[in-house]
Structure 1
Amino acid sequence: MPEMLFEVRWPDGSHQTYYSPSLIVREYLEAGHDYPVADFVDRVREAMGIADARVRAKYGMGCSMAPVAVAQIEAAAGGFDGGTVHVERFRT
């Protein structure tokens, strides 16, 4: 299953790279776009849920990294009251 990384810039200017076990994240986020923090988190949760289901369907078990990425993003997002997340790029 193709996996990818996606790089974001948080409202405080910090940069972070996150893992996705599937290319599905490209259907929920677009490089070069800004998303309100809450919307970004919702989009990632949905995309990672689908990615995990795809891995489960193909391999018989889910991807342990998908919930880790969601938890990392939720933790980072919790530090912001508003603002936007900029999706910088995707890497495969």
Structure 2
Amino acid sequence: MPEMRFVIAWPDGREETCYSPSLVIRDFLEEGRTYPVRDFLERSRKALTIASDRVEAKYGHPCSLARGQLARIEAAGTPFLHDADALVSCQSFIL
């Protein structure tokens, strides 16, 4: 199963390299595009859940790395939810 990383920039300018055990993240995020925080969190939740489910279907257990990444994304994004203008940028994909 091909894994990938994706680089995002939070509304405060902090960049983070994130992990996905599947290329499915490209179905939910686009390089160079910005997303309102709430939308970004929902897209990440859907993509990383699908990715973890694919690992489970193949190996018999969900992907703890995908679940951990999702938890980190949700924790980092939560403080920005009160700001309707806050955007997260998907900077790049790394295969």
- 1:71 is paired with a residue of what secondary structure? helix
Residue 78 (structure 1) shift: 1.3
Gaps of 5+ in 1: none
> Aligned residue for 2:68?
68
1:86 aligned to 81, 85, 89, which one? 89
The 5-angstrom pairing of residues 1-92 of structure 1 reads: 1-80=1-80, 81-82=82-83, 83-92=86-95
Normalising by structure 1, report the TM-score. Answer: 0.97
Normalising by structure 2, report the TM-score. Answer: 0.94
Gaps of 5+ in 2: none
How much identity, in percent, do the aligned residues show? 50
Write out the 4+ residue segments of structure 1 that deviate beyond 4 Å after TM superposition.
Answer: none
Residue 47 (structure 1) shift: 0.4
